[in-house]
């Protein structure tokens, strides 16, 4: 399974922490950067992660900026992407079975390393349930067509 990862300048350290964490769990990471502390624009990286998932290059995406909000908004503009921006594990966990999110974002300036790992674990370790949730997910995706 492949995970597309992207981040802005505020999250280079956090990206590397999470990259090592998911690689240890057996995932292959496609790292879209940035790997520089020089100021850059989060939409560039949010879009790269979103497109990699939407195009099937990656199974999931994880994108990190200062808050997780900007890069999450950017990734969610890509057709086919359902983002969850999470600062705690409970929401990350439920966003998989209920809403089938395919990109996770969070803030390197909001959560610490261990909380981030827990968020990622809950997100990756819980599968989409389908069933009654599918109608609602379909309704969400239909909004993209208007
Ligand atoms: C960059 O300073 C900051 O605005 C960005 O990382 C992010 O928090 C935006 O949502």
The pLDDT tens digits for 47-59 are 999 999 999 999 9
Give the other-Cβ count within 10 Å of 57's Cβ. 12
Looking at residue 26, its pLDDT comes to 98
Looking at residue 49, its pLDDT comes to 99
Nearest protein Cα to ligand 1, atom 9: 70
Q: What is the pLDDT of residues 46-89, one digit of tens each?
A: 999 999 999 999 999 999 999 999 999 999 999 999 999 999 99
30 Cα–ligand 1 center, Å: 22
Looking at residue 87, its pLDDT comes to 98
Looking at residue 19, its pLDDT comes to 98
Which residue in the block uniquely carries the two structure tokens 């395919």?
A: 102
98 noted as active-site residue: yes
Looking at residue 65, its pLDDT comes to 98
User: SS3 for 35?
Assistant: coil
29 Cα–ligand 1 center, Å: 23
Residues 6+ apart with CB under 8 A from 116: 14, 17, 18, 106, 108
Share the mean pLDDT of the chain: 97
Looking at residue 133, its pLDDT comes to 93
What are the φ/ψ torsions at residue 56 (nearest 5 degrees)? 85, 5
């Amino acid at each position: 399974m492949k995970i597309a990862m992207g981040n802005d300048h505020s999250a280079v350290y956090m990206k590397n922490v999470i990259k090592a964490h998911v690689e240890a769990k057996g995932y292959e990471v496609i790292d879209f950067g940035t790997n520089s502390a020089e100021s850059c624009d989060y939409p560039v990286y949010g879009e790269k992660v979103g497109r990699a998932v939407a195009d099937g290059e990656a199974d999931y995406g994880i994108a990190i900026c200062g808050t997780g909000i900007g890069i999450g908004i950017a990734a969610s503009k890509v057709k086919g992407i359902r983002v969850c921006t999470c600062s705690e594990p409970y929401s990350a966990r439920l966003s998989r079975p209920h809403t089938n999110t395919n990109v996770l974002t969070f803030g390197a300036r909001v959560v610490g390393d261990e909380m981030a790992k827990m968020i990622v674990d809950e997100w990756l370790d819980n599968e989409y349930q389908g069933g009654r949730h599918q109608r609602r997910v379909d309704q969400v995706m239909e909004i993209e067509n208007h």
